[in-house]
Structure 1
């Protein structure tokens, strides 16, 4: 009979993204400096480091320099320095260049670098392992472990060898209990355990509703004659216009590579909107089309983004653990950046944990790492997020004055203002009924610049074991048809960027929802945007999902 095994670590970190890896590196650095031994493990659900990581990405390297001061990483192939910026307002057949001097400082990228975050995370992970951190890839953390004092005392990893119905097969291997005094949740946006622990301990009490967006991205190799490494283009306006809040980007890197993508806030109201098809439309604009023409699309992916900012941050600590990176929501949406904030949160987390270890936990109250919040309040991270704390609220509600208020609050008042804008309505509650709004008609793909979902998912290298359990849970099987399809025209068939959800007719001519979980990119948009919160994303078997190559 297979039995669950238990192992112990001083610190267990869930997620090998920039925040989790940074936490582990800083902890080991501090342990070496203090000449103490500390056992750290990082649990990562992707098959290898960086496989599930996706970001634009422009990085402010301040926090990475702090973490690894002696590494000449700016000179490596990981980074392309930003040397030219354009901020454009798109109309369908033309555009307007917004002069740099009119932009708030948060939208400028002086001294920043373009990177492929998956490659950066892999490089950082190698640094962590060299210091003695145990990194276990291909293992999904599926649940939290609690002791008899209602304190988190570790995590449980998922089992292998279950069939579609969750029954054990001949290849069954039970999950592992990893016990620890310190559990760090670094799963990224809408983390599975982060969501559970926030609910369990009511960590978001008194906070603004968290805000999310979906980011969709492609990696292209373009004609060498069009390559301008270091050129950054950000755009607003068409094709989203008034359909949704958001914007798009195109980043030029070395080796004739460009990242092109779109970010769509998930509080949009039109149920006919398809973020995927809006992104495909975006590439037909002359500015973008001319760059991509005769190029080759190499990869595709999508990810949710936690964007609520400081006013939506949950309580950062709980009994037995803490939240870091996008599991908490440290991204600065006004700067369109979350890597440096994730790294800095990891540094602060490590310093807080080490201090509690050195003091024998005397600075902890009810086994809560209160000092983590105190250190955050004194850091540049808090100062930066405080300055931009109203950005998402302005941009969501008052589009015409959003830019002006951002300039006033961040450039003129430098964050020293007394007003805080409220945001109490969750993203899933914004959709209007389908019969109250005109349907959006999208152009068919040309398979040169624009593509369908099926060919796009193929480029994400998404893989699942044959017959493994469906990890997308529908709580009420009738709701998708009786509410979502009837009243909202089945929006899950459009907001999912991987074509997971489809409505089909059975042999009696009645509609039912079909879930192709083998296409799932782990973006978690369904978990966020579903009208009745009837869909729950859970981690699939470890090692499953997309295999991005430096996205």
Structure 2
């Protein structure tokens, strides 16, 4: 196929904090040295920020290194944290507040800011464009361009536009473009579709722990001004999760009488009947949470997978022709529940390595200076201290809390041992025979809601007549394996109602229906499917959620 080819010094896939920070740093160094460096950022969302969803509390350390005058230049970090609260929810009515003096340093947020990460990314994009970065929103990176021997990455190809469901070309068909770079940085976020392929192709995870993930489900609420406490950060553990299931919540009081409320559940859960969306809905009825939300109005909804494997699961970061940055690699500090500062820092480190290589007239080789700089950075030290948290918590809430607390309080995160995880999340789910279906309460449409009305608030949209981006390696597996052994858990772990088991009126002939137009691009199905039969690939650029300020 004849494609338009555009050549750059550096191609960056993903307009999140990692990709934009890398672009900004490249252009900063070019300006400082009086050199020309061409940089392009492509983003599959309809605009920068459309697919960004995070809690979020930002540690400003990295953004201060990147853009020291961020406050004067109008960065949307306007709500400093004023109070931390940590509650154990003992049942559906009661809670115990953990004394702040006993909280590990990771749960102290003095000096941090409650933010909309989507709005921060929009602001970063303006800074990047002012420096001369080209940004193409609405273009999905669909394929990787290798050299003839498939040993080097030469760039990427954006997805075709205007294909019908059967793959044929519609009247408005436009082929994707080839964006060729001397180096390509992949900043797709958690479980990036190309990042996953690169990890497999170059065996970047050899000798590493199995990566682990969680699903985070979030809502934005306008609440009664009398109940609003700007800067309040509240986290909970315990109910509605049982002792063996990793999970917890956040409730952040941001600007303009709004709160961000969400629930995170580890995708290593065993019970195939667990329904993360419903667990989140019933959590909001707990008095400690409902007191803030009652009388308020839900205005936005979204969900996203979160990478939680830590330092032990971090893949090799580089390969000939490029690198993984941000959550595409897995730079999340799990006990701090923060990743945006890590994304910014890794974007900067990779940019500095790429700029140095370009100055030496190199191309398509490994940016070895990037991982070397990471290992010497404050970020590596921070993630090293956090490395045992998720492994301890996977052993149960009670034991995990005690041991993780000891690790952090007694050893400062530098205990003389490192725990490991060798089992991927999809292999941890158990067969349905050992469990009973969970009876969840019906939504009251005041605090709790159904999935479809929730997806409506995400402004998700896909062109319906396009190839399905939720592909099955074997179409027989959903019924013969997933339904037979696990009662089709994809019906429940998807937070957008994408997967349904349909039957005839007499209950016979079960079949899987995929409502791809509902997909909020969370990637949970790609992670949790028991046999890894579901492969998430990019839909047409511009499709998916359109988050306003998540």
Q: Give the TM bin, normalised by the shorter chain.
A: over 0.9
Q: Does the CA-based 8 Å contact 1:11-1:41 persist in structure 2?
A: yes
Give the superposition deviation at 1:407: 3.4
Q: Residue 334 of structure 1 aligns with which residue?
A: 335
CA distance in 1, matches of 2:403, 2:293: 35
Q: 1:464 aligns with which of 459, 462, 470?
A: 462
1:45 matched to which residue of 2? 44
2:228 maps to: 227
Distance 1:302 1:538 in 2: 17
SS state of the match for residue 31, structure 2?
Answer: helix
Give 1:304's aligned residue. Answer: 305
By how many angstroms is 1:181 displaced? 1.1
| 1:352 Cα deviation from its structure 2 partner | 0.9
Shift of the alpha carbon at 1:466?
3.1
Deviation at 1:77, TM superposition (A): 4.8
Aligned partners of 1:243 and 1:270 also within 8 Å: no
For 2:545 and 2:415, locate their aligned partners in 1 and report how far apart those are by CA, in whole Å. Answer: 43
Aligned to 1:247: 248
Mapped partners of 2:458, 2:298: distance in 1: 11
1:399 CA displacement: 3.3
> In angstroms, what is the RMSD of aligned CA positions?
1.4
Aligned to 2:317: 316
- Correspondence 1:105 to 2:115: no
Is the 8 Å Cα contact of residues 78 and 119 (structure 1) preserved in structure 2?
Answer: no
Secondary structure of the structure 2 residue equivalent to 1:96: strand
**1:107-506 to 2 correspondence within 5 Å?**
107-149=107-149, 150-242=151-243, 244-361=245-362, 367-506=365-504
Greater shift after overlay, 114-123 or 430-439?
430-439
| CA deviation vs aligned residue, 1:433-465 (integer Å, no higher than 9, x gap) | 112112110000001110000100000000111
* Corresponding residue SS for 1:64: helix
Deviations 1:37-95 (A, max 9, x none): 00000010001110000000001010001100022169765431000111000021110
Any gaps of 5 or more consecutive residues in structure 2?
none
Report the CA distance shift for 1:547/1:464 in structure 2 as closer, same or farther (over 3 A).
same
SS in structure 2 of the partner of residue 441 of structure 1: coil
Q: 8 Å contact 2:42–2:141 — kept in the other structure?
A: yes
Structure 1's consecutive aligned runs of 4 or more residues displaced over 4 angstroms after TM superposition are 73-77
Match of 2:84 in 1: 85
| Superposition deviation, residue 338 in structure 1 | 0.3
Task: Compute the displacement of 1:487 (Å).
Answer: 1.0
Classify the secondary structure of the residue corresponding to 2:394.
helix
Conserved? CA contact 2:76–2:123, under 8 Å? no
Aligned partners of 1:260 and 1:417: how far apart in 2? 33
Q: Could you tell me how far apart the structure 1 residues matched to 2:181 and 2:32 are?
A: 22
Unaligned 5+ segments in structure 1 are none
TM-score by structure 1 length?
0.97
Distance 1:420 1:218 in 2: 35
Question: Per the alignment, in what secondary structure is the counterpart of residue 12 of structure 1?
Answer: strand
CA distance in 1, matches of 2:465, 2:396: 48
Shift in Å at residue 367 of structure 1? 1.3
Change (3 A) 1:249 1:415: closer
Structure 2 match to 1:59: 58
Q: Between Structure 1 and Structure 2, how many residues are aligned? A: 547
1:248 is paired with a residue whose SS is strand
Give the whole-Å Cα distance in 1 for the aligned partners of 2:523 and 2:438: 24
**Partners in 1 of 2:244 and 2:295 — Cα distance?**
30
- Aligned residue for 2:347, secondary structure, equals helix
TM-score normalized by the length of structure 2:
0.97
Tell me, what secondary structure is at the counterpart of 1:187? coil
